[in-house]
Chains A and B, each alone.
Chain A
Amino acid sequence: MKLEILKEIIKKKEKKSEFAIVTNLTTGESAIYEEGKSLSKNFKKFTSQINTFFQLKKNGTIEDTDIFIESYIRPIKVIVVGAVHIAQYLVNYAKNLNLEITIIDPRGYFASEQRFPNIKIINKWPNEAFAEIKTDKNTALIALTHDPKIDDPALQHAIKNNFFYIGALGSKKTHANRCSRLKESNYTENQIKRIFGPIGIKLGGKSAPEIALSIIAQLVSEIYKK
Chain B
Amino acid sequence: MKNSFDEKVLEEANDWIKANKKVVLATVVQTWGSSPRPAGSRMIVNENGDFSGSVSGGCVESAVVKECFEILKNNKLFKKIEFKVSNESAWEVGLACGGEIEVYLEQIN
Contacts and interface: CB of A to CB of B under 8 A. Distances in A.
Contacts of B20: none
12 contacts: A1-B106, A1-B107, A2-B109, A13-B6, A23-B106, A25-B29, A28-B106, A75-B4, A76-B4, A98-B6, A223-B3, A224-B3
Interface stretch (A55-63, A103-111, A119-127): A55-63
A3 interface: yes
Contacts of A13: 6, 10-11
A6 B108 contact: yes
Nearest to A96: B5
A203 interface: no
A114 to B, nearest CB: 25
The winner among B40, B107, B108 for most chain A CB atoms within 10 A is: B40
Contacts of A60: 30, 39
A9 B13 CA distance: 12
A192 B5 CA distance: 29
B27 interface: yes
Interface string B30-65: 100000001110000000000000000000000000
Given A23-B104, A28-B106, A223-B1, A3 B17 contact: yes
Contacts of A70: 27, 39-40
B40 A25 contact: no
B106 A98 contact: no
Interface of B: 1-6, 8, 10-11, 13-14, 17, 25, 27, 29-30, 38-40, 77-78, 80, 104, 106-109
Contacts of A98: 4-6, 8
A130 interface: no
Interface residues of A, number: 31
A226 interface: yes
The winner among A25, A70, A224, A226 for most chain B CB atoms within 10 A is: A25
A1 B11 contact: no
Contact of B2 (A1, A68, A73, A97): A73
A97 B107 CA distance: 27
Given A3-B108, A10-B14, A57 B2 contact: yes
Interface of A: 1-3, 6-7, 9-10, 13, 23, 25, 28, 30, 57, 59-61, 68, 70, 72-76, 97-98, 138, 164, 220, 223-224, 226
Given A61-B30, A73-B4, 5 more contacts: A1-B109, A6-B17, A9-B10, A13-B6, A28-B78
A75 B10 contact: no
A59 B2 contact: no
A24 to B, nearest CB: 10
A68 B14 contact: no
A79 to B, nearest CB: 16
A10 B39 CA distance: 20
A59 B25 contact: no
The winner among A2, A68, A73, A164 for most chain B CB atoms within 10 A is: A68
